[in-house]
Amino acid sequence: MLLASSRTRHSSLLFHRTTSCVSSLSFPSTAKRRFFWGNSDNDNGDKGNGNDKKGKSVETKDQSSNDDSSEATVSNASSLPMRLGFGDEAPRYPHLTALPVINKPLFPGIITSVTVTDEETIHALEKIKGSSGPGGYIGVFLRSKYPNGVTEGGVLLEHPEIITDPSDLFKVGSLAQIHRITRHFGNQNHDGINDEEETNDSIFAGGKTASVLLLAHRRIDLQMVDNIGPPIDVTCSHWPRMTYKMGEDSARDDIIRALSNEVLKTVRDIAQHNPLFRENATFVPFRVDANDPFRLADFVASLTTGSATDLQDIMEEKDPEIRLQIALELLSKERELSKLQQEISKKIEEKMTETQRKYMLNEQLKLIKKELGVEKDDKEALLAKYRKKVAEYKPIPDDILKIIESEMEKISTLEKNSSEFNVTRSYLDWLTSVPWGKCSKENFDIKGARVILDKDHYGMDEVKDTILAYIAIGKLKGGIQGKILCLVGPPGVGKTSIAQSVAKALGREFFRFSVGGLSDVSEIKGHRRTYVGSMPGKMVQCLKTTGTMNPLVLIDEIDKLGMGYRGDPAAALLELLDPNQNNAFMDHFMDAPIDMSKVLFMCTANDLGTIPGPLLDRMEVVRLSGYDVPEKIKIAEQYLVPKALRESGLLTDASTSEDEEQEANEATSKQNIPQSLSIEQSAIDNLVRWYCREAGVRNLNKYIEKISRKLALQVVAEEEGAELTEDSKRKSNTWVVSEDNLEEYVGKPIFTSDRLYDKDPLPHGIVMGLAWTSMGGSALYIETQAIKRGSDSEGKPRGGGLLKVTGQLGKVMEESTQIAYTVARARLAGIDPNSSYFDNNDIHMHVPEGATPKDGPSAGITMTTAMLSLALDKPVRNDLAMTGEISLTGKVLPVGGIKEKIMAARRAGITCVILPAQNKRDYDEMPDYLKDGLEIFFAEDYANVFDVAFSSSK
C-alpha cells in the first residue's frame, strides 16, 4: 500500500503542466542534442530554469498537498504549484516510472528524442506528462542486457522498453523531464493526411509508436524495481549536486586542469575533421564551464560515438579525475576515427576528381583530333576496320558482300550502348574474320610428300597411297577438291597422328576437334544470333583459326557421337560431309552460305558399327588393322625409342640446329651420360611378345618411356651419389637394356605363354577360334564338356540333349551355339549312325575370359568342331585356329576382320588357319609378310573344316 500511495502522489503531481517560462523554450524535435544546465548562480538569468528557493518550495509544497489527496486529476490543477525545478533543483521523487533506452545513456543536461514502441508504456508516459506542456518526470536507464538493441542472434529488439528481469537495467540512470510526446499515426503525407495503403501489420500503423522528447536533470541510482511492467515502476535515490572546489589539493587541481585542457583541445581537433561533431562542439564555450570537470566530462561523452558500456562507465563514475580520463579516452578514439574517415573521404574525392579530370581531358582530346581530322570517333574507326578487312580478301561472294554492307549500314545508325549494336558488331566481327577466297598453297610434289609421311609413320601404306593419289590428281587438275576420309582401326595405330602428317605433306593448315560424346547440334551448326553469348559452329571457328578456306580438318572419334535433347549431331554432319552439299554450308549464326568444298575432312573411328548408315555412306573408309610383331619392333626401333630417349634427355634431337645440338651435347657431357646406353632389339621383342599384345603401339610406347625414365634417374643418381630405392637401383653392370635385364625396368611379364593350352594335341572338346574386336584381332578358345545323364528315383535316365553356354555371350553368339549344336548332332549321325552321345550327355560350352563380353557369328565352325571333338573322342591340332559362320545346313559363310584375325593368329603362334572360301579375296589383299609361314585352308562346307581339323588327330 505504501508503494501504491507514493505512485498516486507522483502521478497527481506530474499530471499538471507548469506555467513557468520553461514552457516557452523551443526544443528541436529531431535527435540533435541541446544542453540545459540549471546552475544556481544563473538560474534567474536563463530562460526556462527556476531559482533555488522556488525549486525547493515546489517539492515541499507538492508533497504536502499529495498527502491530502491521493486521486488528483487535471481539474484540480489550480491546487498545485505552477512551477517545476530544472537541473539540480528538479524534484527528488523516490518512486518513478522507468524508461529503458539503448545505445547510450542520457547524460544530465542533454535533451534527446527516444522512440517508444510499447503501447502501455506510451500511455503511461502521456499520463505522466499531462494534457500539454512540460512537467512530467521519469527515470531513464540504459539496458544492461542487449544495450545496443540487438540480440545475440543479430535480431533487433522489437520493444527495447520492455524488460524481463530487473538485472536487465544498469544501476545508474538519469532523472528526465518529458517535454513532448508525438505519436506516429501511420504514413502521413506532407498535408498530414493518412495514407490509405498503410497496413495494420506496420508498427507505425494506428499510433503504435511515439517519439518522446526528454531533458535529463541529474543522476539517480536504481534501488529496486517495484513493478517489471510495462510500464516499469522503480524506487530510486538521487545523486547530490557534485561540484569540485579548486584550491584544496594543488596537485590534484593541476591534474584536473590538465585533463580539462586536453579534453577541450581534443574536441577542437575533432571538430576540424568531423563537420557533425563541429556543429555540436559550438556549444562548449556557452554551455559548459571548463572549471566544472563533471559537466565537462558529461558533455564531451555525449558527443562521442563510443560503446554503450564505455559511456555507462562515465555515467556511474563519481571521481572527476577518472571521469575526465574515460572521456578523454573516448575522445581520442573519436579523433582517430574522424581522421580515418577524413582520409577515406579524401581518397575517394581524389579518385573521383582524377577520374573526372581524365574523362574531361579525353573528351577534349577526341574533339580536337576530330576537328583536325587526325582521328575519327569509335563508330567510324570500327567501320574503317571492317572495310580494311574486306579489302584484304580476294573477291568475296556477292551474297556475303551484300550482308556485310547491309550490317555496316545498320551499325552506323545504332547507338553504341544499345544491345542491338553489340549483336551487330559481333556478327560483323565473324563475317569479316572468315578468310573469304583465301587458300594456302598446296604441295604437289609426290616424292616430297612420301618422305614426310614415311618420316613420322611406319607402314600404313593404304592411307599413304590414298593421299599420294589425291596429290597426283591435284597436280593434273591444278587443285585438290575436298574429300572425306574415315580411318577405322583399333586404338594406338596412329589414326590421329597420321592426319597431322597428311596436312604437312599437302601443305595445308591442320585443325582438329573431337566429337566423342558431343550431343549439341550448335557445336557444329552454331547458335542463333538471338541467344545471349551465341557463337558460330566449330567449322566457322576452324576457318577463322586456320586463316584459309582449304584446311585439313580432323573429326576425331566420329563413332562416339552422342544424341540429346539439343539435337542429333550425326544428322548435322550429313550436310557438312556431303561433297554435293557442303559448297553452301549454312551455319545458324552466320546465316549465309559458306563454301566447305575445298576442305579435306579426315575422320577417325574404332568401330564402324556405331556410325549411322547415311553418314558412313558419305565417307571413304580406310581400315587400319594394327601391327604385328615385326611391325611393332620396327616402329619401336625407328620412332618410339629415339623419341623416348630424346624426351628423357638421354639423346640429342637430330632435327635441331647446329647451335642447339652443340648446347645439348655440352649439357649431355656435363651429366656424363654413358655412350653405351641403349635399348636392344631383344628387349623390344620381349616387350612386344610378353607385355604388349594389343593391336596398337600406345602401350608399347608407355613401357619404352618407363624404361627411359628409369635410365635417366639412374644416370643422374650415380652422378650425384644419391640413394635410390631397391626397385630403382641399377642391378646389372651395363647400361644396355636387353632381354636379360628387362624385368629390372618393367617388372614381370604380363603374359607367360603364347596360348592357354600348350599341349599337342589339345584336350578333347577344345578348339581355338579367331575373333575381331575394336581393339584388334584376338585368339580365344572354345571349351566343351559332357555331363552324363543320371537316373531318377525310379531308375529312369534323366537329362540329355541339353546345351548350356557361359562366358558372357551376346544374343547373336548364343543363337550361333544353338545352330552349331544342331549341325554337330547332324554330322555325328552321318559319321556314326549308332552313336547316341548327345542323347546320353548334356553339353556345357564355355568361352574363357568370362568378364569380357563377346558377340557375333564368326565362331560357328569353331563351336561345331569342339562338340564333334568331344563326341568322337578325337583331339584337334594344337597349331590350328579357325573362323567362320556356319549355316543350319553346314555351309561356311564369310566373316569380317580377316587381317586382324590373321595377325592375332600369328601373335598366338598359330601356323594353320581355316577361313571361309568367300574371304579368299581379303586374304589375297594382305601383305606377304603376314602370309609367310602360315598354312591356310578355305572351306565352303563344314566337311572341309572337318577334314582339316581331324586329319592329323591322333
Question: What pLDDT score does 132 carry?
Answer: 43
Question: Where is pLDDT greater, at 796 or 234?
Answer: 234
In angstroms, the Cα distances linking 43 to 23, 24, 38, 62, 688 are: 15, 15, 6, 21, 115
Task: Give the residue-averaged pLDDT of 492-505.
Answer: 89
Residue 807: name the closest of 856, 761, 759, 762 by CA. Answer: 856
How sure is the predictor about 274, in pLDDT bands with cuts at 50, 70 and 90?
Answer: confident
Helix, strand, coil distribution of the chain in percent, nearest 5: 45, 15, 40
Task: Give the residue-averaged pLDDT of 500-528.
Answer: 89
905-930 confidence digits (pLDDT tens): 887 888 999 999 999 999 998 888 88
Angle subtended by helix axes 320-372 and 293-303, to nearest 10: 30
763-801 confidence digits (pLDDT tens): 889 999 998 876 677 888 999 999 887 766 676 666 667
> Is 374 exposed, middle or buried (CB count within 10 Å of its CB: 0-12, 13-18, 19+)?
exposed
Task: Quote the cell numbers at residue 700.
Answer: 608399347
Alpha helices in 577-697 (DSSP H): 613-616, 629-635, 641-647, 658-671, 681-690
Lowest mean pLDDT of 185-189, 476-480, 550-554, 677-681, name the range: 185-189
- CB within 8 Å of 89: residues ≥ 6 apart: 38, 40, 43, 49, 50, 51, 52, 55, 56
**In the predicted model, is pLDDT for residue 752 greater than 70?**
yes
Question: Where is pLDDT greater, at 822 or 459?
Answer: 822
Residue 499: name the closest of 395, 616, 617, 601 by CA. Answer: 601
Question: What pLDDT score does 328 carry?
Answer: 83
Whether 474 contacts 444, CB under 8 Å: yes
Question: Where is pLDDT greater, at 329 or 11?
Answer: 329
Lowest mean pLDDT of 84-88, 149-153, 470-474, name the range: 84-88
Task: Give the residue-averaged pLDDT of 202-227.
Answer: 77
CA distance 769 to 773: 13
Task: Quote the cell numbers at residue 328.
Answer: 578523454
Q: Check residue 553 and report its DSSP letter.
A: E
47-73 confidence digits (pLDDT tens): 333 333 333 333 333 333 333 333 333
Annotate 321-384 with DSSP letters as a single string: HHHHHHHHHHHHHHHHHHHHHHHHHHHHHHHHHHHHHHHHHHHHHHHHHHHHTS---HHHHHHH
* Strand spans (E) along 575-659: 585-586, 593-594, 600-605, 620-623
Residue 695: name the closest of 914, 920, 919, 488 by CA. Answer: 488
* Highest averaged pLDDT of the listed ranges 264-278, 393-407, 780-794: 393-407
Lowest mean pLDDT of 82-86, 757-761, 806-810, 860-864, name the range: 82-86
| pTM of the complete model | 0.58
CA distance 25 to 609: 101
Catalytic residues: 858, 901
Whether 241 contacts 108, CB under 8 Å: no
Lowest mean pLDDT of 79-83, 671-675, 945-949, name the range: 79-83
- CB within 8 Å of 71: residues ≥ 6 apart: 8, 12
How sure is the predictor about 952, in pLDDT bands with cuts at 50, 70 and 90?
Answer: low
Instruction: Tell me which amino acid residue 593 is.
Output: P
How sure is the predictor about 74, in pLDDT bands with cuts at 50, 70 and 90?
Answer: very low
Whether 281 contacts 275, CB under 8 Å: no
Annotate 210-256 with DSSP letters as a single string: EEEEEEEEEEEEEEEEEE-SSSEEEEEEEPPP----TTS-HHHHHHH
Lowest mean pLDDT of 185-189, 560-564, 901-905, name the range: 185-189
Q: Check residue 583 and report its DSSP letter.
A: G
173 DSSP β-pair partners: 220
Residue labelled with grid coordinates 577515406: 344
| Count of residues in the chain | 954
Helices and strands in the chain: count of H runs, count of E runs: 32, 27
How sure is the predictor about 411, in pLDDT bands with cuts at 50, 70 and 90?
Answer: confident
Whether 560 contacts 515, CB under 8 Å: yes
Reduce the DSSP state of residue 114 to 3 states and report it.
Answer: strand
First-to-last alpha carbon distance for the chain, in angstroms, is: 130
Reduce the DSSP state of residue 62 to 3 states and report it.
Answer: helix
**In the predicted model, is pLDDT for residue 526 greater than 80?**
yes
**In the predicted model, is pLDDT for residue 727 greater than 50?**
yes
Distance of CA 386 to the CA centre of its chain: 37
Question: What pLDDT score does 287 carry?
Answer: 62
840-899 confidence digits (pLDDT tens): 888 999 998 877 888 889 999 999 999 999 999 899 888 899 999 999 999 999 998 898
**In the predicted model, is pLDDT for residue 605 greater than 80?**
yes
CA distance 57 to 260: 36
CA distance 102 to 104: 6
In angstroms, the Cα distances linking 538 to 6, 554, 723 are: 93, 12, 52
Angle subtended by helix axes 942-950 and 860-872, to nearest 10: 50
Phi-psi region of 105 (alpha: psi -120 to 50; beta: other; left: phi over 0): beta
Residue 518: name the closest of 538, 498, 534 by CA. Answer: 538
Annotate 748-777 with DSSP letters as a single string: S-S---SSS---SSPPTTEEEEEEEETTEE
Whether 637 contacts 685, CB under 8 Å: no
Question: Where is pLDDT greater, at 197 or 165?
Answer: 165
CA distance 743 to 746: 5
> Is 654 exposed, middle or buried (CB count within 10 Å of its CB: 0-12, 13-18, 19+)?
exposed
CA distance 445 to 438: 21
CA distance 815 to 805: 11
- CB within 8 Å of 898: residues ≥ 6 apart: 915, 919, 922, 923, 926
Strands 935-939 and 912-916: parallel
CA distance 390 to 410: 17
Residue labelled with grid coordinates 539496458: 143
Instruction: Tell me which amino acid residue 502 is.
Output: V
Reduce the DSSP state of residue 287 to 3 states and report it.
Answer: helix
Q: Check residue 138 and report its DSSP letter.
A: E
Residue 912: name the closest of 770, 751, 772 by CA. Answer: 770
184 DSSP β-pair partners: 209
> Is 47 exposed, middle or buried (CB count within 10 Å of its CB: 0-12, 13-18, 19+)?
exposed
Q: What is the largest CA-CA distance in the chain?
A: 149
Q: Check residue 611 and report its DSSP letter.
A: S
Strands 209-227 and 232-238: antiparallel
Reduce the DSSP state of residue 891 to 3 states and report it.
Answer: strand
Reduce the DSSP state of residue 593 to 3 states and report it.
Answer: strand
What are the two backbone dihedrals, phi and then psi, of residue 408, each rounded to the nearest 5 degrees? -65, -40
Question: Where is pLDDT greater, at 672 or 231?
Answer: 231
In angstroms, the Cα distances linking 920 to 2, 395, 760, 882, 916 are: 127, 55, 28, 14, 7
Task: Quote the cell numbers at residue 335.
Answer: 579523433
Strands 110-116 and 34-35: antiparallel
